[in-house]
Every structure is written in structure tokens, then in C-alpha cells.
Structure 1
Amino acid sequence: MTIRDFIIRTCTDMGISCVGCAAVIRWEQPLFFPWVPESCYPNAIYPEAQTAVVIGLPVHLPVVETAPSIWYREEYKIVNSLLDQYTWRIATVLNDQGYASVSIPRDGYGSITVLQKNPAAFFSHRHAAVLAGLGTFGRNNMVLTRAWGPRVRFGTVLTSARIESDALIESSLCTRCNACVRACPVHALEEEDYPESKTNKKACADRSAALNGEYRSPCGICIKVCPVGADRDLFNRTDIRMYDDTGAWKKYHDAWDHVRSFGSD
């Protein structure tokens, strides 16, 4: 069994279906500009790193649809916690096999207050996911996947093992429908492809801080309206007009309003 097969089997045993690998040299071959600062490259953080192993876990669409809400907040926290646990376990299993490995925490910025001052983390799981062939960027500054659109969170393991990289997704998964641009409550997005679009990260962080005080952060609106993802078929949510039409889809709006009326002041 190759080390790659071993990782896939380990992930499968943990219920992880979204996993990809990227040789750290890929960070030195920018896909677009501006690119990740060199200080945030994998082997600038962990010099022994040869490969980044990236996993993804979904946030379930019907939960995201209630956002901002206490329900989405709690699921978001659960997914982040699982990512930290799973990546730690993967790194530990690789260490046991003789491959020096470390996991990168899901959030590397401290708090929303810190993020307001400096909207960045010490490592970008989003760029790692793209380089590991798991998705492409959308206009909402999020990584879009075939299975879940942007409704997915990523975690990364840096390992000394040399593992073949997964193929990049060459064509953008973004449909350029601008649903995320129109839906953003703080007008933080532009009708340009990433990275040409200048996302107002400060406005996004300020909204998250306000919602955090109400126990219903993060925002989540731009990811719930995105039409990309097979999860829309699974949950019968293929018509995104449902988020604006309170007539034909009244039962859904009633359900979302019910959830939003709980858990915050």
C-alpha cells in the first residue's frame, strides 16, 4: 500500500470523502496574482514539509439557509472542531508510520477582534484546497467544490512524506451568477472573478463581530445562495429564487424565521 492509499483509507475510516494532496512546490508556482505571501508557504511554516494533505467537511445546506442563526453558528463550530481533531489524528497516524507531520489549526487568527485589525491567518486552507485539486475560487472569496459548492470547511496536514499531487481543477466552478454579490448585506463583494475582485474583508469582519455579539456569527449569506454544488440536488434546493420569494417558498421562510428567533438577543 502506498502512503497515498494509506491516507485515503485513513480518511475513509473517519468518514472523510473530500481529501487531496499538493506538493509544497506548488506554492512556488502561483495560479494568479496577488498570491499567498512567501511567509505563509507550507515550508516557511514547517520546513520539513514536502506535501500538504487537505481535507474538507461540509456544512449542511438546510442549516446554512437559516444563517445568520444560532443553528448555523453551532454547526460551524462543530465542523471546525472536527477538522482540528481529524487533521491532528491524520498527522499522528503519519508520525506513527515514520513521516514527520503536523496539523494546522482551522482558524489561525485568534479572534474576530483581531481579524478586524488584520483580516488574515498565518496559513490559508483555501489556497491549499485549490492547490490540492478540491475546488476553485468563487466571487465570494470562497472555495467552490463540486459536491457542496462553498458550503465546506477545510483543514490541512503538512507532512514530510512525498506524495503525488492531485490534478488541479482547470475550469472555474463559479457560474458568475453574482447571487453572492447581490446578497451580501455589507456590499463586500464585486462582480469580478477572484482575485480581480477586491473583497472588502474589513466590512465582512465587522459584520461577523456584530453577529458574534448576538450569538449568531458567522454571516453565511453568500455561501447559502451560491447555486454550485451537488448538495442542492440532494436537498431539493436547485432554484435559488427560493431565498427571495416568500410566496411559493413560504414554508421554508417560516422555518428559517423560526430558527432565527432563538438563541440571540
Structure 2
Amino acid sequence: MSLQDELNRIALENGVQYFGVANLSEATDFIVDQGGGDLSEYPYAISIGIRLMDPIVDKLSHRNERSALLNYKHHAYDVINSRLDMVTSILSSHIQDNGYAALPLPSSKRIDDERICAQFSHKLAAHLSGFGWIGKSCLLITPDNGPRVRWATILTDAPLQPTGSSMESRCGSCSECVKICPVQAFTGRNFVEGESREMRYNARKCENYFKEMENNEQLAVCGLCVYVCPHGRKKN
């Protein structure tokens, strides 16, 4: 069994539904700009994803039900992120034991408060692994589960085989995520390679919305763009 097959097996045994490999050579400038030159030393990214529970996401429209929001924050965010971090740690140890370098990246940790971004874009790795496209919500949209997947990434120099390539947008004229956003954070533009995120998404509006909820002693939970996407709701 190849190293890649071993990693795939370990991931699946630990509850991961999506396991892919991305060639990062075409995204070097973006990676350096967001996370620094050290990250560009790794030619490949392993992208793993865990699907969110539909009954939890489907309750997000019930904004007056504290239990629905609490369940989403706990099970669809905190717990899933912890599971992803555990799996990336396990996989990275296995890669290192086989003589290669591996850098697991936190599933949800911000490093830049000004730009409101993490060290590395998990959506980028998933996109380049062939799992989906970047939607008008700036989320990674999968054909089968829409944006109802959380992602994490391992950077590595292990000689792995890419599992796919970037997928063209299938959003079409749909703008459900744009319309439902309570702070109108999305412009409705389709993703364009090389175009800045700000052309499509005002992260500061989301940031201020969450702060406002916290200041009002409310649960800082939204996720309406995750809930409403037809590619995730089509089975309901």
C-alpha cells in the first residue's frame, strides 16, 4: 500500500469523508501573501473535510431558538474543528514517521486581525484538490453537500499524487447566500482567480456582526450562508 493510500485509510477510519491532495505550485504567490514564505516550501497540501450534520445546519434559520444556535456552535463548529485537528495531527505523525516533512495547520485559528484571515486558506487546498468551487459566499461549495463541510490542511513534501484540479463555479445566477446575509457582506460576484477577496466579501461586516451579538449577550452564531445554499439543501 502506498503512503497516500495509507493516509487515506487512516483519515477514513477517523471519521473523515473527504481526503484529497493539491498541487500548490500555481498558488505560491497567494500562499506567501497570506501566510509567509515558509509555507511556500511545501509543494503539496493534503485537504481533509468532515461533513456537518444536516439536522443541526437546518435549524440555523430558527434564530430565536437558543438551543439550535448553541448546538451549531458546539457540534458543527467546536467539535468538528477539534476532530479535524486531531486527524491532521495523526496523519502528520505518520508522514513524519515515513521520512517526510508535514505541517498540520489549525482548522480555525486567525493570525491576522487586520485582514481577518488564517495562516493558510483551507478552502484553497480543497478547491485545488478538486472537491468543489469557491461560491459567492466565499465558502467552498461541494457538488454533493454544498458548503456543509469543514476543512483542515496538512502541508507536506511527501511525493503524493494530486487528486483533482480546481472546479468551475456552478452557482450560476443563484444568489441565495447574498440575499440571506443579515449584514449584506457579499457582493454577489462569482469567484475569479487572482481577484482579491474584498471584491466579493466584506469580512469586517461579519466581524462587527459577531461582536454586536456578543455585546448584546447573544450567542455569536450565524451560518445562514451555509444553511441556505441549494447544493447543501437539495436532499432535504
Whether these two folds match at TM > 0.5 is yes
CA gap 1:50/1:103 in 2 versus in 1, 3 angstroms: same
TM-score (norm 1): 0.76
Matches within 5 A, 1:42-57: 44-46=37-39, 48-57=41-50
Partner of 2:17: 17
Superposition deviation, residue 77 in structure 1:
0.7
Superposition deviation, residue 26 in structure 1:
3.1
AA of the residue aligned to 1:146: P
Distance in 1 separating the partners of 2:40 and 2:138? 28
Whether contact under 8 Å (1:139, 1:176) holds in the other structure is no
CA gap 1:66/1:107 in 2 versus in 1, 3 angstroms: same
Matches within 5 A, 1:219-234: 219-229=222-232, 232-233=234-235
Match of 1:178 among 139, 154, 175: 175
Partner of 1:93: 94
Superposition deviation, residue 86 in structure 1:
0.8
Partner of 2:66: none
Distance in 1 separating the partners of 2:210 and 2:52? 18
CA RMSD of aligned residues (A): 2.2
Partner of 1:106: 107
Distance in 2 separating the partners of 1:103 and 1:166? 19
Superposition deviation, residue 81 in structure 1:
0.9
Distance in 2 separating the partners of 1:215 and 1:129? 32
Distance in 2 separating the partners of 1:132 and 1:36? 16
Structure 2 residue matching 1:36: 3-state secondary structure: helix
Q: Number of residues paired by the alignment?
A: 222
Match of 2:124 among 123, 127, 136: 127
Partner of 2:165: 168
Greater Cα offset, 184-193 or 171-180: 171-180
What stretches of structure 2 of length at least 5 have no aligned partner?
A: 64-68
Structure 2 residue matching 1:182: 3-state secondary structure: helix
Partner of 1:61: 54
Residues 1:79 and 2:76 are matched in the alignment: no
Q: 4+ residue runs of structure 1 moved beyond 6 angstroms? A: none
AA of the residue aligned to 1:36: F
Note the alpha carbon deviations across 1:124-159, whole angstroms, 9 max, x for none. Answer: 111111111111000011000123201111100111
What stretches of structure 1 of length at least 5 have no aligned partner?
A: 29-34, 238-265
Match of 1:199 among 171, 176, 201: 201
Residues 1:158 and 2:159 are matched in the alignment: no
Distance in 2 separating the partners of 1:188 and 1:206? 11
